[in-house]
Amino acid sequence: MRYLAPVCFFIFAAILVAVPLTAGNEYELRLFMLFLIYGIIAVGLNVLVGLAGLVSLGQAGLFALGSYSGAILSTRLGFDIVGSCIGAAIISGLFGVLLAYPTVRVRGVYLAVVTIAFGIIVENVAIEWQSLTGGTTGLSSIPKPNILGIRLSGFAFYGVLAVTLFVFTLLIHNLKISRFGRTMLAVAQSETASRALGINSTGLRTLAFVISAVTAGIAGTFYSFLNSYISPDIFTFSDSVRFLLMVILGGAGSTFGPVIGAYLLTYLPEYLQQFQLWQKFAYGALLLVVMFALPRGIVGTLQWAFNRLRPPAPALAATEGLPVETTLRHEKKMLAAELVATALTVRFGGLSALSNASLRVKGGEIHALIGPNGAGKSTFVNTISGFYRPDEGRCELDGVELTGRRSLDIARLGLARTFQNTELFGEMSVLENVMAGYDQRLTYGLTQALLRTPKMRREERECRQTAIGLLAFVGLSQYANEEARFLPFGLQRRLEIARALAGRPRLLLLDEPAAGLTTQEIDDLEAMVRRIAALGVSILLIEHHVDLIMALADHVTVLDYGQVIASDNPTAIQDDPRVIEAYFGAPLDRAAAVGAGA
Ligand code: ADP
Ligand code: MG
């Protein structure tokens, strides 16, 4: 498996070299060049669709923007092909940022509609802005491709296209196997969990849009040079659909799938021309059948079949990992953080989920937060970690104000959390889940990811070794390569703890980690929490299991109807009449009365 990607890239290069040598005539070569251009679009769009999990049906709009920009820059301003490409890439990249903006609010179908609207707007501007675009007649007499005044021959231009597609495919493959690909997949699966791990989801979505826009823009410029003529009817909605289909048919998220998809959808219409009137029908019917038979796309289905046929991957050797004692331990001065929450009030409509609640988790202690269902415990965790904004009150971590900060920034300050209803990246492997949690500790940037620099490789190795060590720590080594969603419930909870720890937090908030666990699993959890605390991590533990609290907690705070009714050592709490009345007295009745929320 290690050598699969290099071998594929070698074959790809060999094909690109061989085609012009074997092409029978200029028309054949031209058609192949058209495929190369579509390939560039599809490979870029794959970042958006396959990695970031977003749908764009406006890619023809970006392609048109690139085409017109390139054509105008070369005809009016005399730019050569490099200058036109750079200009077109900048212009379409800016529109990529613009298109990413709506994702702050809308996803899925709504986002698809926004991108369709974008495509229609571009098409209309191209028609109406006659002085610039030539209106419906379009722009003709685009110069032959040239670099620094030297005209490129047909073969030289082919070389430019082939090298561009090859390099883009390689760069995007590198992106996919870097922190950027990993976190884009993570954001697509659970934005909530991503934010809790300090992952910048908005930034990643914008990056995905910009990459897909820039590649479409460059492809558009190449198209202008290849065609020497462009007009608005070349960039219609059905072209957007075709670009999206290239990615999905080939296999979204795979490295070569979009290239194969682009190839098929370039050649298929040519081949189907013999059916004349039935061409469109045959095209649609064929797509329908293929997508029905291969829902993962061609490459995706091949990979899936291959994974099923080969023997299961051997469990990772725990020796590949580094012990948590070295990867998670803090310097003396950075030891366990202190959390101070002062008079927090959180209202939902008329209901006060928290009223005037204050709590202090001292550095290095295990602090239990208990209370009947609906008392406001999860609300407290959500407020501290920046998911809810308090209506009143404030909280600080080691004197640093948390109120008003984004959850991802709070995570980066050293606060990690788990969720009452586990929030894993279900379709990623167990190991990748933990590696995503490590992301905030990685420092390499986009360029280093694209080029796979030594720094990137070193940091990725550390990330992997730390993750493997963490899996050993929570007893999941043997599941490292499984998809997270297939883990039994109890193990999913452990994975979530391992992932939260990967960022090396100084305070860990655990929201009912023992809920749904067996007695044996609860004993394991108890040992695990002790070891985590021994690494120098303060812990806020929300729990219902009295035995676990008595065994672990240094201090217990009791919430009832959003108010702190007691805060003391475990023994004192157990004897406190108010607590007995509110909590130990008749928990079942109370839970029912409160509505057993969240
Ligand atoms: P606990 O975790 O102690 O069981 P929660 O903090 O989940 O309690 O809930 C406290 C109260 O706040 C409940 O009545 C719950 O229905 C309400 N609540 C929690 N989150 C929300 C929300 N996002 N919107 C509206 N009401 C909420
Ligand atoms: Mg809760």
Distance from Cα 386 to the centre of ligand 1, integer Å: 15
Within the chain, all domains assigned CATH 3.40.50.300 are found at 324-414+504-597
Please name which of 218, 258, 245 lies closest in space to residue 51, comparing C-alpha atoms.
Answer: 258
| Residue nearest (by alpha carbon) to ligand 1 atom 20 | 379
Atom number of ligand 1 nearest to Cα 373: 4
Comparing 23-27, 53-57, 64-68, 332-336, the range with the smallest average pLDDT is 332-336
For residue 556, which phi and psi values (nearest 5 degrees)? -125, 135
* Smallest-distance ligand from the CA of 353: 1
Give yes or no for residue 515 CB within 6 A of ligand 1.
Answer: no
Determine the number of helices (DSSP H) and then strands (DSSP E) in the chain. 26, 12
What is the distance in A from the centroid of ligand 2 to the CA of 572? 24
* 375 phi, psi to nearest 5 deg: -75, -20
pLDDT digits (tens, 9 = 90+) for 381-400: 999 999 999 999 999 998 89
Residue 304: partners with Cβ closer than 8 Å, 6 or more residues away: 296
Mutate to test the pocket of ligand 1, among 379, 509, 560 (most ligand atoms within 8 A of CB): 379
Question: What span, in angstroms and rounded, lies between the C-alpha atoms of 98 and 94?
Answer: 6
Ligand in closest contact with the CA of 349: 1
Q: 485-518: per-residue pLDDT in tens? A: 999 999 999 999 999 999 999 999 999 999 888 8
Task: Extract the tokens encoding 340.
Answer: 């101070």
Which residue in 253, 249, 243, 251 sits closest to 176, CA to CA? Answer: 253
pLDDT tens digits for 29-44?
A: 888 999 999 999 999 9
Q: Among all ligands shown, which has an atom nearest to the Cα of 558?
A: 1
Q: Which of 414, 423, 433 is nearest to 508 (CA)?
A: 414
The finding on whether 377 has its CB within 6 A of some atom of ligand 1 is: yes
Closest listed ligand to the CA of 351: 1
Query: How many angstroms is it from 373 CA to the middle of ligand 2?
Result: 7
- pLDDT above 90 for 95: yes
Lowest mean pLDDT among 134-148, 249-263, 341-355, 425-439: 134-148
pTM over 0.75: yes
- CATH number of this structure's domain 324-414+504-597: 3.40.50.300
Ligand 1 pocket check for 378: Cβ under 6 Å: yes
Most confident of 101-115, 116-130, 229-243, 498-512: 498-512
348, 381, 388, 558, best to mutate for ligand 1 pocket (most atoms within 8 Å of CB): 348
- The answer to whether the CB of 567 falls within 8 A of the CB of 555 is yes
